[in-house]
């Protein structure tokens, strides 16, 4: 009987050892499983943060492109276009850790660089191309996207080489040439002016600096500045706060005549007579006077760009010593007294084709994801 008890005790001991071994194995497996779950959860959380950071960076790039579609920064002082605080305020800190409008640069950063000179944080060479770099951090993860962005412009496509077009009589009180050339088109030495009823062209300057007068039945205004472009410019002005329904609308702040300005009024006279210089040769503008309103240039006012007056009944007036550098288009004719000048300037006319951005797009092949630095 003793041997039997010994064998029974041995069996129980073996079972205990086996149980402890299995328990230890299960404990190790359970611990490993817990660690695996913890690591997986951590990795998943990190991946979610990285995915969110990438989404925020992409969103910042999109917002930057939208802003560039309205205003392409052309100087270091115009780089207030991206509102980082306003962008950060769109995100909930609970869902996007780090989103803080009070300290947005820890959440999102957007930088510009000229496409030919990366040390310049704006469109330094004026070609409408910049690099946009957008970074974002959500929690412990950051992402960065980089793209070259091209501005899309509302071009005027105005006829090159034409200083003055008039749909009515062009009259001049005085013998000084009133229509001249300031900058010829590239490779050209001829410019012209056209009027349906020229009046006294010899006093306008028909033979001055190779100018050739066109008589009745010649060039149609649609060929000079099309109705489609006028409508497009009007629509852009309406969408950007540059459209006025009173001739005195921009008068309280004359700088509103700069850039694109459209005035559509049933009557009255738009007066640019205060001796102000509007726009520049490098930054020309467009002034459209629509409806029944007419136009008066006076004093020593200067305007760089294209001026158009739709009124077919009343002639536009120019007196004193004002200068239009670019092109003047008047449906109702022009009465010029004193020594006003209409000087064709090809740099102004050509420059208007890349002056008013209406959108932007990523240049194909120039988008990439980079290693974040924030």
The per-residue pLDDT for range 16-67, each reduced to its tens digit, is 666 666 666 666 766 666 665 555 555 677 888 999 999 999 999 999 999 8
Would you state the pLDDT for residue 202? 40
Would you state the pLDDT for residue 70? 82
CA distances from 360 to 69, 127, 260 (A): 5, 13, 19
Would you state the pLDDT for residue 109? 95
Would you state the pLDDT for residue 254? 85
Question: Rounded mean pLDDT of 69-79?
Answer: 77
Q: Kindly calculate the radius of gyration of the chain based on its CA atoms and give it in whole angstroms.
A: 35
- DSSP string covering 6-51, please? HHHHHHHHHHHHHHHHHHHHHHHHHHHHHHHHHHHHHHHHHHHHHH
Q: What does the pLDDT look like over 317-363, one tens digit per residue?
A: 999 999 999 999 999 988 888 888 899 999 999 999 989 989 999 99
3-state secondary structure 218-237: CCCHHHHCCHHHHHHHHHHH
Would you state the pLDDT for residue 76? 79
Beta bridge partners of 179: 342
Would you state the pLDDT for residue 186? 87
Q: 């996007």: which residue's tokens?
A: 96
Q: 């090809």: which residue's tokens?
A: 346
- DSSP string covering 278-339, please? ES-SSS-EEEEEEET-EEEE-TT-EEEEEEEE--SSSPEEE-SS-EEEEEEEETT-EEEESS
Looking from the CA of 93 toward its CB, the CA atoms found within 13 Å total 9
Would you state the pLDDT for residue 44? 72
Q: How far is 200 from 134, CA to CA, in rounded Å?
A: 61
Would you state the pLDDT for residue 69? 86
Going along 82-161, which residue ranges are E strands? 108-114, 129-138, 141-153
Q: How confident is the model at residue 370 (pLDDT cuts 50, 70, 90)?
A: very high
CA distances from 246 to 264, 269, 287 (A): 7, 9, 14
| CA pseudo-torsion sign 182, 185, 188, 191 | negative
pTM, to two decimals: 0.74
Q: Which of 170, 164, 177, 229 is nearest to 203 (CA)?
A: 177
Q: What does the pLDDT look like over 248-286, one tens digit per residue?
A: 989 878 889 999 999 999 999 999 998 899 999 999 999
Q: What does the pLDDT look like over 154-188, one tens digit per residue?
A: 999 999 988 888 888 788 776 566 788 889 888 87
Predicted confidence (pLDDT) at residue 296 exceeds the cutoff of 50: yes
End-to-end CA distance of the chain: 81
Predicted confidence (pLDDT) at residue 153 exceeds the cutoff of 50: yes
Would you state the pLDDT for residue 23? 64
Q: How far is 312 from 335, CA to CA, in rounded Å?
A: 13
The DSSP letter of residue 119 is: T
Predicted confidence (pLDDT) at residue 206 exceeds the cutoff of 60: no
Would you state the pLDDT for residue 98? 93
What is the length of the chain?
374
Question: Rounded mean pLDDT of 80-105?
Answer: 91
Predicted confidence (pLDDT) at residue 215 exceeds the cutoff of 60: no
Q: Using CB atoms within 10 A of its CB, is residue 241 exposed (0-12), middle (13-18) or buried (19+)? A: exposed
Would you state the pLDDT for residue 209? 32
Considering only residues 195 and 345, tell me which one the structure prediction assigns the higher pLDDT.
345
Considering only residues 2 and 46, tell me which one the structure prediction assigns the higher pLDDT.
46
Q: How confident is the model at residue 203 (pLDDT cuts 50, 70, 90)?
A: very low
Average pLDDT of the chain? 85
Would you state the pLDDT for residue 15? 67
Question: In 150-164, which positions are buried (b, 16+ CB within 10 angstroms) versus exposed (e)?
Answer: bbebbbbebbeebbb
Predicted confidence (pLDDT) at residue 78 exceeds the cutoff of 70: no
């Amino acid at each position: 009987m003793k041997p039997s008890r010994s064998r029974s005790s041995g069996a129980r001991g073996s079972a205990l050892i086996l149980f402890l071994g299995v328990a230890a194995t299960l404990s190790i497996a359970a611990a490993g499983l817990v660690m695996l779950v913890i690591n997986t959860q951590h990795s998943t959380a990190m991946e979610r943060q990285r995915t969110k950071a990438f989404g925020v960076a992409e969103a910042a790039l999109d917002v930057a492109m939208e802003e560039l579609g309205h205003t392409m920064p052309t100087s270091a002082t115009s780089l207030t276009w991206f509102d980082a605080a306003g962008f950060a305020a769109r995100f909930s800190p609970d869902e996007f850790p780090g989103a803080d409008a009070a300290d947005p640069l820890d959440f999102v950063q957007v930088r510009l660089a000229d496409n030919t000179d990366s040390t310049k944080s704006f469109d330094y060479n004026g070609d409408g191309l910049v690099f946009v770099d957008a970074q974002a951090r959500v929690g412990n993860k950051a992402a960065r996207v980089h793209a070259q962005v091209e501005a899309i412009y509302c071009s005027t496509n105005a006829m090159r080489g034409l200083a003055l077009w008039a749909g009515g009589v062009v009259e001049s009180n005085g013998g000084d040439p009133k229509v001249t050339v300031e900058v010829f088109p590239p490779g050209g030495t001829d410019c012209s002016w056209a009027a349906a009823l020229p009046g006294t062209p010899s006093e306008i300057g028909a033979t001055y600096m190779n100018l050739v007068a066109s008589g009745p039945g010649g060039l149609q205004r649609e060929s000079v500045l099309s109705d489609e472009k006028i409508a497009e410019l009007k629509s852009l002005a309406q969408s950007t706060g540059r459209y006025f329904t009173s001739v005195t609308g921009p008068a309280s702040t004359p700088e509103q005549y700069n850039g694109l300005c459209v005035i559509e009024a049933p009557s009255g006279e738009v007066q640019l007579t205060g001796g102000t210089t509007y726009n520049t040769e490098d930054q020309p503008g467009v002034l459209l006077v629509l409806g029944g309103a007419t136009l008066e240039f006076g004093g020593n006012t200067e305007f760089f760009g294209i001026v158009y007056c739709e009124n077919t009944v009343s002639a536009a007036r120019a007196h004193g010593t004002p200068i239009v550098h670019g092109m003047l288009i008047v449906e109702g004719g022009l009465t010029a007294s004193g020594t006003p000048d209409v000087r064709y300037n090809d740099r102004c006319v050509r420059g208007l084709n890349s002056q008013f951005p209406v959108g932007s797009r990523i240049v194909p092949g120039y988008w990439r994801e980079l290693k974040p630095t924030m």
